[in-house]
Chain A
């Protein structure tokens, strides 16, 4: 903490929010995805094969049953009681499979975990982008970059504040210096009004959005 002539003040925190990508253990230890993959890779295909086998056998049974039911329907001999029986048998099989599924479920969901690396939802930020802030004022930079964007030259148009009377931040860009990881450079002019400035990160060729960036310019200067 700092002490001015008149009073004490807190130190800036390293962060102000939780890390939702950690696994929540103490000491900040995180499960190694690579270790899991290495352990699971050997039985990954076997697990899926087993699961698919189970699934197919039920599918075939049901198709066969459905075909028989269809034949009887067309012959006018399929009754509601037959339907109930078929449904009950189907359920029994489903429950049996659920039980069997549970046996493979642990391994299956390990596979699910790895499968989820192929994203269906919002992508995590590219992991290897450094941030360089050039500013006399204290600033917080947050950005989200879709993986793959780093293969192009991501472009950052001016970042605007919700308060349109404030000048935008015009000098925010990516630099690729030698062959190291890309650097997000944020230039904040002296005396720039404090506030939050937001904008998209776009593909320089297609201009399609590939992420977003938010810069909070604080009121006080860096110490």
Chain B
């Protein structure tokens, strides 16, 4: 049916998923078919990817934001955004996406050293891969078959260079010897009888026998082949493991070999190559549990590599390090994509805050395309139509959207959210009160408009279906759903199940600006992103590349970001306690102080004072950036910095429901709601918490979800064009 008026779409939330949906729906190809309005709490876009600018123009992030080389959908949209924006704006610093991102091939993990009192760090250089993420037509490597092949290549790389004995005479045997069931059974029994076998030989031999055995079909006793594979793997590991643990380098390699072998055994054993559910078939297992089932040793399960994987996705229930939980299928899918399908580089770091590099350009482009933005609008409730099935069988739908207006803009104008820092449009860390009615009072009262508990409002707004919107893209964080979608949860068991099983976790992070570079601090390897370090700040990334983007008179020599899960209960009761936010923030501060005094020396040996503890004078205080030249002398005259110097740095406790990280708990993926779900036929959902194919807490999953949401409303992009959606 033709329609002369644009279809009105309300997009709620300003994170990656919402912006991706908005970007897709406003493509020029749609010819203005959709009229979008984005409603955003507070003063800035970004959601969990938001960043601001504080003193000295320093970047203040929600957490550590690094893009991975397999983020095909995210880079596609970002690159198209930059291309469309290119050459026009004098205020924009980066003309090409390569100015905003740079490839980083180094990754590291840490493990306790043999003394148990220190830490050893392993850094690896991942070689460049052809192309760049977001290039057209990605390679056809997104299949389990190719991952299995790449795993074999990985094993070869790991073992190259080890001394070997001279080759012995080889007995001539061929596959024809496995031509009968009797021969296969005899060979299987032979292998099982002699346990003193090499892993590689056993796996090769066993799998060759397996293949022959499977061809025999029902002629072969059930289970004999599987028993062979399992027995050989277990037998070999038990014997070899005791030897390799004596040599750290060999041990570490063997741990990877062990894990990869367990993955391969598991893929065969669970029939994943042909299961229509793909890797979802093992999502009810925890990743470690599944690997253990498939023969991984305890050493390998406790290895830095596996701990690093769990740390990377904050896979600790309620942030409790004693409760690691990560769905095996989602872990394998993410691991395969991460290690085997990256393009350009393993990591891609931003030369600025994520808000500056991603959300500012997106905001500019979307404005240019006619999207309207309503800042300081906080969603309170999504109201559904009455469920009256006898009324012609019409489906339930979103009837109204209820917002609190946190602040009004003077003169009824549109809020202008960006500021210029070093010639670049950026998001500030606080609202521009000069644009707001009663701005001076609001500034004095210091409201945190992004806080879940902040109830200040200047008004209310209710949007009604047809009058104000035709479709809704619900792009809020998962943590907001129980508060704003009460009717969904009350009447729809699928939504109830989703909020019960799809979990989020609070996180904590701090940023340091330091007066010495990494070598001076005692870190010898290249700048790195490292995980599996001591809790609670198990992940560290050197972010020195953003120094030029900040506004320091006397720049720091390096910048360090630390983050980890925060052990906090996931319930509304805790959240509502008086002073909870302040208490959480103080907890993070306390954690950081202890970490710097006692643990960071294992990364930066020269950061320790002679008497012990952290050298607090290393921290660069933005308030010291005086214009006159006497500042250094005045500093020398004052007493030496102590722990209070840390207060000049930046830290966050991400306990806000919408700031919590989306986890992939075993048994939860099947309960995610898809953006394609049409139960409420004027609504789609968007976020890394939805059923988006990847089902991990990351930018790529959010962007995939946003693209799916756009498809749900417009049919575009085609599902086949959402890279990685149709994936094992």
Contacts and interface: CB of A to CB of B under 8 A. Distances in A.
Asked if A pairs with B, the answer is yes
Interface of A: 1-4, 6-29, 31, 45, 48-49, 51-63, 65-66, 84, 87-106, 108-113, 115-125, 137, 144, 194, 218-221
A121 B156 contact: no
Interface in B162-187: 162-165, 168-175, 177-178
Given A59-B191, A101-B155, A220 B280 contact: no
19 contacts: A7-B466, A8-B466, A13-B676, A15-B676, A24-B723, A24-B726, A26-B720, A26-B723, A52-B173, A52-B177, A53-B172, A87-B239, A95-B162, A95-B164, A102-B156, A104-B204, A112-B148, A116-B268, A220-B393
B152 interface: yes
Nearest to B165: A92
B471 interface: yes
A121 B397 contact: no
Contacts of B140: 23, 25, 29, 31
Sort chain B's interface into a size bin.
Answer: 35 or more
A93 B200 CA distance: 9
Q: Which of B145, B244, B278 has the most CB of A within 10 A?
A: B145
Given A8-B471, A52-B208, A115-B207, 18 more contacts: A9-B397, A10-B712, A23-B728, A53-B173, A56-B171, A57-B169, A58-B201, A66-B196, A90-B196, A91-B240, A94-B198, A94-B200, A102-B156, A104-B204, A112-B148, A112-B211, A113-B148, A219-B389
B155 A102 contact: yes
B152 A113 contact: no
B271 A116 contact: yes
B160 interface: yes
A212 to B, nearest CB: 12
A58 B394 contact: no
B484 interface: no
B275 interface: yes
A130 B232 CA distance: 43
B389 A7 contact: no
A38 B173 CA distance: 25
A49 B211 CA distance: 12
A59 B471 CA distance: 67
Contacts of A54: 170, 201, 204
B175 A19 contact: no
Q: Which of A66, A110, A119, A120 has the most CB of B within 10 A?
A: A120
A144 B276 CA distance: 9
Contact of B720 (A27, A59, A194): A27
A188 B155 CA distance: 54
Interface stretch (B111-119, B583-591, B640-648, B677-685): B677-685
Contact of B196 (A9, A12, A62): A62
B274 A116 contact: yes
A94 B268 contact: no
B148 A121 contact: no
A33 B266 CA distance: 22
Interface in B259-310: 268-281
Nearest 5 pairs between A and B by C-beta?
Answer: A121-B271, A102-B156, A94-B198, A20-B278, A24-B142
A138 B156 CA distance: 54
Contacts of A91: 198, 240, 243-244
B199 A94 contact: yes
A87 B250 CA distance: 15
Contacts of B175: 45, 48-49, 52
B620 interface: no
A220 B244 CA distance: 64
A181 B173 CA distance: 44
A117 to B, nearest CB: 7
A106 B149 CA distance: 5
Contacts of A88: 243
Nearest to B152: A105
B487 interface: no
Given A3-B1, A99-B159, A194-B389, A10 B174 contact: no
Contact of A24 (B163, B713, B718, B727): B727
A150 to B, nearest CB: 16
Nearest to B337: A24
Q: Which of A17, A61, A137, A194 has the most CB of B within 10 A?
A: A17
B409 to A, nearest CB: 30
Interface string B128-153: 00000000011110110110110111
Nearest to A100: B200
Nearest to A220: B393
Contact of A48 (B3, B211, B269): B211
